[in-house]
């Protein structure tokens, strides 16, 4: 039995899952509550549930491919997956390289830090952001005087905020509320300053990313988003994670 | 390929290169300061100290640098006691975590190199020095150590390149070194190769400069060991 | 501690991935090293310069940079080549990207190890064997290879010890090896220290075991009567 398990583990590693599914979808896995990784290695979260609902709506079989944020657009471009469902905002910069469905949620960005922190005191402080996100370019453009610390994943920034290596985090406000402030380690930390939604940086909400030229797939995703909004499927998933409608105006 | 983006961001790469070079140089320097006494103790088989140094050397040479760095950066900061201690202002900084880990790592490798070099210094050289009436300490400092360091040059040159290449893991703990600049470029413009290719080219250039420098040093300091045919 | 025990099966499967990765990389490195050494020793100008460029370039670039390049760049290459032949999409997995990169790097080091070992064999012996009328294949089998193994083993052992530590960086492209799994798990339960300490000990164990295996091998392949021959 043991031998069998070992052989199976090795075999699974050597031959990555045969691409039997219709659509391979890149997801992240370190961005609670949108995506996080269970001890078993399974990826769960809002993005994952939405991905599954969209696939069911489209009548397609889907395979989720866990990919680091850093490499997620290259992975799409090189065909490691056919779509990205990873809370990726639809921004003009990204539109030059890939294409998006309509949004499937929209939430503003904000700062968190130790309770009592002020936005006016940010100059010279260390602010953690995830490399290559809208928050990265927003901070560079709007807050040039803070010391930016770049991370690969959102989970790492939480660890370093608690350790005291960064003074504040700029990220999606809902991700931080649910993924950090509401957890045990979030005690003593709070939002401060304004909440931001600047179209130039933040775009029009999160959409499903596809390669350019795949209009058919893009439109299928957009139609499926509208359909699950209407069927009530979306509100059911929404209710599992949030007590308000995350779709936005 | 969009190498114009690399050109636009050359400042980021220059800063990254400076970070890599100084992190590597300082780690090598501190590592060398650890390795000189440690190597001597090992070669002399001094009781108690020598086995302790052996454990240090074995632990650092037997495990990946990345794991050592994770242990220091993420591992230590997990404990409140560490975060409240006098060491926290140092351990708080990713830069210092990398410098400490790299120095200890390089120190372990260099200890072995120096120990080996001391053991290959011919007895005759030392006896000649003794017969000239030099005190044991003078024999050590004027004959043994200089001779050992010369003999250690080729291997130490390898260690220098090894440390330069090892320092890439610094980018994993938020340090903006050469690879950090490459990854940031890729992430900012959603590209996959340009940043890595530029990083590879920079590391390669620095390696070649180092290899060349050590070849020159060997030519100068190991002249007397060359066999003439 | 309970967390570590809960994750133990996962971590051990990761350790298995690490070892498998290291062994496959060693095989690739050995093949490349043998080809490289042959090219350098008996190839023409073209073969010699290809091997020269290979060993110089590889030793100039850190392992992690090469892994990232091969993982992303390698996929593009595969896609382009695949398109020429009208083949279906071939996925370059993280595991094979890691094997490719590490094997490619240490192949360059083994090229030098094998070349050095070959050059230690006194040329007179091979001439003598030929003069006795032995066929080239038997010269290879009875004279060259046994000595090559004996001379190359210490260097080969060294390369293996560095290679197995190199596998740790493959976790950075997201491979679920020992380091990658410990990193994910340690961070999510917020107890990274104990998880990394475990990984640290596992690598020490790998080093210790391989040291003993190579010591045994060196004794086994030691050339008997070599001293008389000189």
Task: Kindly state the average pLDDT of the residues C8-35.
Answer: 95
User: What is the average pLDDT score of chain B?
Assistant: 92
**A14 has a chain B CB within 8 A of its CB:** no
pLDDT surpassing 60 at residue A9: no
- Residues in chain A closer than 8 A to B78 (CB atoms): 163
- Residues in chain A closer than 8 A to B184 (CB atoms): 131-132, 150
Supply the range of the domain harboring residue B169: 3-225
B227: distance to nearest CA of chain A, Å? Answer: 51
**C218 has a chain A CB within 8 A of its CB:** no
Cβ of A41 within 8 Å of Cβ of C76? The answer is no
CA distance A233 to C41: 69
So what's the pLDDT on residue A128? 96
Cβ of C20 within 8 Å of Cβ of A67? The answer is no
Contact A132, A70 (CB under 8 A): yes
Cβ of C174 within 8 Å of Cβ of A68? The answer is yes
Cβ of A80 within 8 Å of Cβ of C91? The answer is yes
Mutation target to probe the A interface, by most A beta carbons within 10 A, among B183, B187, B195, B196 is B187
pLDDT surpassing 70 at residue A18: no
Q: Which residue has the higher pLDDT, C93 or C209?
A: C209
Task: Kindly state the average pLDDT of the residues A117-124.
Answer: 91
Task: Kindly state the average pLDDT of the residues A92-120.
Answer: 92
CATH number (domain holding residue C173): 1.10.3720.10
Cβ of C16 within 8 Å of Cβ of A6? The answer is yes
CATH of domain A2-106+204-241: 3.40.190.10
So what's the pLDDT on residue C127? 85
In a domain, C230, yes or no: no
So what's the pLDDT on residue B78? 86
Q: B32: closest CA among B159, B144, B211, B139?
A: B159
Cβ of B192 within 8 Å of Cβ of A152? The answer is no
So what's the pLDDT on residue A32? 87
Per-residue pLDDT tens for B30-86? 999 999 999 999 999 999 999 999 999 999 999 999 999 999 999 998 888 888 888
Contact C211, C36 (CB under 8 A): no
**C173 has a chain A CB within 8 A of its CB:** yes
pLDDT surpassing 60 at residue A1: no
Cβ of A9 within 8 Å of Cβ of C13? The answer is yes
Per-residue pLDDT tens for C98-137? 999 999 999 999 999 999 999 888 888 888 888 888 888 8
pLDDT surpassing 80 at residue B127: yes
pLDDT surpassing 70 at residue A84: yes
Per-residue pLDDT tens for C130-160? 888 888 888 888 888 888 888 999 999 999 9
Cβ of B78 within 8 Å of Cβ of C68? The answer is no
So what's the pLDDT on residue C230? 40
Chains touching A, CB cut-off 8 Å, 3+ pairs = B, C
In a domain, C114, yes or no: yes
Nearest by CB to B63, from C57, C192, C204: name it. C204
User: What is the average pLDDT score of chain A?
Assistant: 88
Nearest by CB to A97, from B174, B180, B190: name it. B190
So what's the pLDDT on residue B178? 97
Per-residue pLDDT tens for C166-194? 999 999 888 889 999 998 888 778 788 99
Supply the range of the domain harboring residue C17: 2-223
In a domain, C229, yes or no: no
pLDDT surpassing 50 at residue A175: yes
User: Which has the minimum average pLDDT: A172-176, B117-121, C1-5, C35-39?
Assistant: C1-5
Cβ of C174 within 8 Å of Cβ of A67? The answer is yes
pLDDT surpassing 60 at residue A209: yes
Cβ of A9 within 8 Å of Cβ of C16? The answer is yes
User: What is the average pLDDT score of chain C?
Assistant: 88
Nearest by CB to C190, from B78, B179, B182: name it. B78
Instruction: Kindly indicate the confidence band of residue A17, based on its pLDDT and cuts at 50, 70 and 90.
Output: very low
Task: Kindly state the average pLDDT of the residues B154-162.
Answer: 93
CA distance B103 to B90: 15
Q: Which two tokens stand for residue C211?
A: 């040291």
Task: For domain A109-202, give its CATH number from 3.40.190.10, 1.25.60.10, 3.40.50.300, 3.90.180.10.
Answer: 3.40.190.10
Nearest by CB to C196, from B59, B70, B192: name it. B70
Cβ of C174 within 8 Å of Cβ of A78? The answer is no
Nearest by CB to B64, from C66, C76, C168: name it. C168
Q: 3-state DSSP call for residue B191? A: coil
Q: Which residues pair with A112 in a beta bridge?
A: A169, A191
**B45 has a chain A CB within 8 A of its CB:** no
The radius of gyration of chain B from alpha carbons, rounded to an integer in Å, stands at: 21
So what's the pLDDT on residue B226? 66
Domain boundaries, chain A: 2-106+204-241, 109-202
A70: distance to nearest CA of chain B, Å? Answer: 6
So what's the pLDDT on residue C224? 64
Mutation target to probe the B interface, by most B beta carbons within 10 A, among A75, A165, A188, A212 is A165
Interface of C with B (CB under 8 A): 57, 59-66, 68-69, 72-73, 76, 165-169, 171-172, 179, 183, 186-187, 190-193, 196-197, 199-200, 203-204, 207-208
- Residues in chain A closer than 8 A to B88 (CB atoms): 164
B79: distance to nearest CA of chain A, Å? Answer: 9
* ipTM, 2 dp: 0.89
Largest CA distance in chain A: 62
Instruction: Write the DSSP symbol of residue A185.
Output: G
CATH number (domain holding residue B73): 1.10.3720.10
**B96 has a chain A CB within 8 A of its CB:** no
So what's the pLDDT on residue C148? 87
pLDDT surpassing 60 at residue B200: yes
User: Which has the minimum average pLDDT: A23-37, B93-107, C201-215?
Assistant: A23-37
C60: closest chain B residue by CA? B204
What is the total count of domains within chain B? 1
Q: What would the 3-class secondary structure string for chain C be? A: CHHHHHHHHHHHHHHHHHHHHHHHHHHHHHHHHHHHHHHHHHCCHHHHHHHHHHHHHHHHCCHHHHHHHHHHHHHHHHHHHHHHCCCCCCCCCHHHHHHHHHHHHHHHHHHHHHHHHHHHCCHHHHHHHHHCCCCHHHHHHHHHHHHHHHHHHHHHHHHHHHHHHHHHHHHHHCCCCHHHHHHHHHHHCCCHHHHHHHHHHHHHHHHHHHHHHHHHHHHHCCCCCHHHHC
Mutation target to probe the C interface, by most C beta carbons within 10 A, among B2, B17, B55, B67 is B67
pLDDT surpassing 70 at residue A155: yes
pLDDT surpassing 60 at residue B229: no
Chains touching B, CB cut-off 8 Å, 3+ pairs = A, C
Cβ of C89 within 8 Å of Cβ of A19? The answer is yes
So what's the pLDDT on residue C160? 96
Size of interface A-B (CB pairs under 8 A): 50
What is the total count of domains within chain C? 1
**A131 has a chain B CB within 8 A of its CB:** yes
Q: Check whether the bond before A33 is cis (ω within 30° of 0).
A: yes
So what's the pLDDT on residue C134? 86
Q: Which residue has the higher pLDDT, A79 or A47?
A: A47
Task: Kindly state the average pLDDT of the residues B211-229.
Answer: 82
B3: distance to nearest CA of chain C, Å? Answer: 15
Instruction: Kindly indicate the confidence band of residue A166, based on its pLDDT and cuts at 50, 70 and 90.
Output: very high
B192: distance to nearest CA of chain A, Å? Answer: 6
So what's the pLDDT on residue A49? 96
A212 vs A7, A89, A105, A228, B194, CA distance in Å?
A: 40, 16, 21, 24, 21
């Amino acid at each position: 039995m043991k031998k069998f398990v070992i052989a199976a583990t090795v075999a699974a590693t050597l031959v990555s899952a045969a691409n039997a599914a219709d659509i391979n979808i890149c997801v992240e896995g370190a961005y609670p509550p949108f995506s996080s990784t269970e001890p078993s290695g399974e990826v769960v979260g809002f993005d994952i549930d939405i991905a599954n609902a969209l696939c069911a709506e489209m009548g397609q079989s889907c395979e989720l491919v866990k990919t680091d944020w850093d490499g997620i657009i290259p992975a799409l471009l090189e065909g490691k997956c056919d779509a990205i469902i990873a809370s990726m905002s639809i921004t003009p910069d990204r539109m030059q390289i890939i294409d998006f469905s309509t949004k499937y949620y929209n939430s503003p960005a904000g700062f968190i830090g130790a309770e009592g922190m002020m936005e006016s005191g940010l100059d010279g402080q260390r602010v953690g952001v995830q490399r290559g996100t809208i928050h990265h370019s927003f901070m560079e453009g709007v807050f040039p005087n803070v010391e930016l610390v770049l991370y690969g994943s959102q989970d790492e920034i939480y660890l370093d905020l608690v350790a005291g290596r960064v003074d504040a985090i700029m990220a999606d406000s809902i991700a931080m509320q649910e993924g950090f402030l509401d957890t045990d380690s979030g005690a003593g930390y709070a939002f401060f300053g304004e909440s931001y939604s600047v179209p130039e940086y933040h775009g029009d909400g999160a959409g499903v990313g596809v390669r350019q030229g795949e209009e058919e797939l893009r439109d299928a995703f957009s139609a499926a988003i509208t359909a699950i909004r209407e069927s009530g499927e979306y509100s059911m998933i929404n209710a599992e994670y949030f007590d308000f409608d995350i779709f936005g105006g | 390929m969009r190498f114009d983006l690399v050109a636009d961001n050359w400042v980021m790469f220059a800063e990254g290169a400076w970070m890599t070079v100084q992190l590597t140089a300082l780690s090598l320097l501190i590592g060398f300061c650890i390795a000189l006494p440690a190597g001597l103790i090992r070669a002399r088989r001094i009781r108690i100290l020598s086995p302790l140094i052996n454990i240090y050397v074995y632990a650092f040479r037997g495990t990946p640098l990345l794991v050592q760095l994770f242990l220091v950066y993420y591992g230590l900061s997990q404990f409140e006691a560490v975060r409240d201690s006098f060491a926290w202002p140092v351990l708080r900084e990713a830069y210092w975590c990398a410098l400490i880990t790299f120095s200890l790592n390089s120190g372990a490798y260099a200890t072995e190199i120096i120990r080996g070099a001391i053991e290959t210094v011919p007895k005759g050289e030392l006896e000649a020095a003794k017969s000239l009436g030099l005190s044991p300490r003078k024999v050590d400092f004027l004959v043994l150590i200089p001779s050992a360091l010369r003999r250690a040059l080729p291997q130490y040159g390898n260690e220098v390149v090894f440390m330069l290449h090892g320092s890439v893991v610094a980018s994993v703990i938020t340090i903006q070194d050469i690879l950090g600049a490459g990854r940031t470029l890729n992430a900012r413009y959603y590209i996959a190769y340009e940043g890595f290719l530029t990083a590879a080219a920079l590391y390669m250039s620095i390696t070649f400069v180092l290899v060349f420098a050590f070849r020159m040093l060997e030519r100068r300091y190991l002249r007397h060991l060359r066999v003439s045919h | 501690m309970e967390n570590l025990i809960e994750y133990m099966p996962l971590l051990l499967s990761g350790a298995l991935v690490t070892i498998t990765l290291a062994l496959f990389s060693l095989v690739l490195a050995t093949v490349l090293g043998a080809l490289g050494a042959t090219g350098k020793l008996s190839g023409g100008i073209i073969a010699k310069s290809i091997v020269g460029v290979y060993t110089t370039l590889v030793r100039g670039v850190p392992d992690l940079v090469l892994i990232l390049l091969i993982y992303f760049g390698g996929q593009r290459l595969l896609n382009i080549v695949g398109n020429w032949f009208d083949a279906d999409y071939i996925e370059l997995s993280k595991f094979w990207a890691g094997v490719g990169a590490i094997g490619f790097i240490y192949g360059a080091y083994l090229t030098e190890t094998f070349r050095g070992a070959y050059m230690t064999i006194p040329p007179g012996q091979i001439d003598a064997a030929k003069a006795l009328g032995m066929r080239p294949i038997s010269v290879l089998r009875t004279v060259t290879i046994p000595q090559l193994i004996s001379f190359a083993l210490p260097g080969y052992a060294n390369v293996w010890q560095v290679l197995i530590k190199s596998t740790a960086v493959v976790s950075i492209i997201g491979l679920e090896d020992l380091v990658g799994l410990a990193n994910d798990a340690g961070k999510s339960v917020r107890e990274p220290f104990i998880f990394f300490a475990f990984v640290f000990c596992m690598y020490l164990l790998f080093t210790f075991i391989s040291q003993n295996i190579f010591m045994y091998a060196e004794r086994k392949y030691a050339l008997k009567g070599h001293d008389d021959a000189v």
